[in-house]
A and B are shown apart, each in its own frame.
Chain A
């Protein structure tokens, strides 16, 4: 009984520490998770972002880049202390105006505050990482190789247990109205045509293997719906729906 009590208090302490760390360091954890690099001081995109932030009347957010061929971006933090991350794919494939649109969208998101979403993403992200740990645990304890059915089944079983609470956390902290408002704000500032061009480049068949719990932070859903549990993390309207709404904005 004593051992069980000690085990329970140990697990409780670890969970409590994780929650506190997520509250305090959610932004830093997410930036490290994707191994982002900070934009150089004199980077033209950073200058452009500073100008956009001043125009929007908010303190300058920090700009980061992440290596990925996919056209996507995400933002985390609060209005006062925010970070915008652009993929290298977006920098290569979007025009200057479209990149501006992308940054305006992220600034609009930061203006409405994303701290709670960031904390939820880190907490839920820790849960959705456990199935991968279970897969490798199964591999190292002799259940077969990573492509064998047994470790895959163990991973699927752990996913089926942990994905619903993680998705619940993500769904209750994501606000649909903010997403529509950010699209509208971007269309008003950059013009609907540029936003539509940018959005159509986001509906790229190429997908990025990100943690499902972080998908709500991205400008476009980076997940494929081939995996059944990814559907629980869908927080964004489809790109055609967003384009339709942007077309209705009077510029």
Chain B
């Protein structure tokens, strides 16, 4: 079933999105009907195991529930943000097996046995991750609402390309929106973090 595979790395997201259109249409129809009748919420509880920020998690949850809400509501990890609910803004970005994934799109059952990292998982003890440190040092934020998603996308970018060019950083963060317009400094921060992570600094 396509749904269960919807772990969507951002780069391939657009193509997969098109593939998912049929499914979404069907889902919408279903939801619409369901909204009209108002007969409660379908619940298919199942046990889901995954690794969250390095620690094993076992949950009894509705498998179709989106990871974003499981993280925020069930697990109390509110660092991951809701921005648009449709994968367009990037505020909900988390890492699943090294890929930046929109947690508003992926169902919790799809992270079964996988490795999930959220913004809360980057800090080690008191030590900020180089990206977090660089974002603070560069004043690469204003309201801070896009920041966790932005940092997680940058984290995935640096995992795949340890010394990205400015053009590559811009392209890598293209789908993470920042209305305060801190992009210039976000790019500088990612460069600084990249250098630090390679041990140049």
A binds B: no
B-to-A contact residues, CB < 8 Å: none
